[in-house]
A and B are shown apart, each in its own frame.
Chain A
């Protein structure tokens, strides 16, 4: 695997692992309190798996491996959801060794379609989609006006952060949090939060390059 690709995925993984407690605390408020633990377990497994991909430069193949690893190691609903997202993002990036704005836009679109299909969910249900869908829209707005990858990701992160804020205002209708109904209002969604921090980690890593 190219050094840069390895570093990007490691940076995203380390951010999730570093935010384990915060994600778990958010989930304890409205879910079953394992989102941080599960996601950290998944990305620990990804970290171990990446060592076996040292010579792989195909971004699609690496993302496919990340997706498969998350599916088999996360344990909770985030495993099939993020796993499917990475598997779907692997399709437009198949055979590529570098990413441009257009490809990243397609990857986000494919990932979101996968999450919607797997979770039978849409925006406004207090899920990761409330961060990812506005992020993708903002990214595409940037792409249309000819902005760079970093500029588009800045717009995407800003929109994802607002999406996380928006999840505080609505009630959950999907997953464990939906059992709480009205009581889920006022809490930010852990899945939207993990989506946002992954995008943010990606942006910050690219900014450092």
Chain B
């Protein structure tokens, strides 16, 4: 099952999104929050992200949901700390973080491959609210 990592500048945002996504996921689905700095401050930490990716991987790869700006830079930096096999099997979704995470988790919980999980997460960009 593809794992999902949620990278936000805020620990509370990452954990809150994880909490919502868990409502939609299979019990064995890995959803790991990587929010904020080690001291609880606002920011992103590439090492925390790489650890989250490792923790989320059960062998099928990992989809990473990010919020703004440096979340992308930190996640790409985190990729450098992974072994080659995992690096080839992890991807950032170009999607809104909350809607994307929920879509990704639903798709991943069906047992879909990484490419399908990413595509579904990115499809969340088209969700209309009114």
Contact = CB atoms under 8 A, between A and B. Distances in A.
Interface of A: 38, 41, 68, 71-77, 79-81, 83-84, 118-119, 175-176
B43 interface: yes
Given A80-B74, A80-B77, A83-B77, A72 B69 contact: no
Nearest 9 pairs between A and B by C-beta? Answer: A75-B43, A77-B70, A80-B73, A80-B77, A72-B47, A71-B46, A76-B70, A75-B37, A72-B45
Contacts of B45: 71-73, 75, 79
Contacts of B43: 38, 74-76, 79
B6 to A, nearest CB: 17
A73 B46 CA distance: 9
Most buried by A among B38, B46, B73: B73
A83 B74 CA distance: 10
B38 A72 contact: yes
B69 A80 contact: no
A79 B69 contact: no
A contacts with B: majority SS: helix
Contacts of A79: 43-46, 70, 73-74
A190 to B, nearest CB: 14
B69 A84 contact: no
A119 B47 CA distance: 18
A142 B76 CA distance: 35
B124 to A, nearest CB: 23
Contact of A75 (B44, B47, B76, B77): B44
B26 interface: no
A79 B76 CA distance: 12
Interface in B30-54: 37-38, 41-48
Contacts of A72: 38, 45-48
Interface of B: 9, 37-38, 41-48, 69-70, 73-74, 76-77
A38 B48 CA distance: 17
Contact of B76 (A68, A74, A80, A176): A80
A71 B9 CA distance: 14
Nearest to B69: A77
A176 B76 CA distance: 18
B82 to A, nearest CB: 14
Contacts of B38: 72-73
Contacts of B41: 41, 75
A175 B68 CA distance: 10
A168 to B, nearest CB: 22
A118 B46 CA distance: 12
A172 to B, nearest CB: 13
A38 B45 CA distance: 12
A84 B77 contact: yes
B10 to A, nearest CB: 11
5 contacts: A73-B37, A74-B43, A79-B73, A80-B70, A83-B46
Nearest to A32: B69
A79 B47 CA distance: 11
Nearest to A67: B77
A130 B129 CA distance: 41
Given A73-B37, A118-B76, A118-B77, 9 more contacts: A74-B43, A75-B70, A76-B70, A77-B70, A79-B44, A79-B45, A80-B77, A81-B73, A175-B69
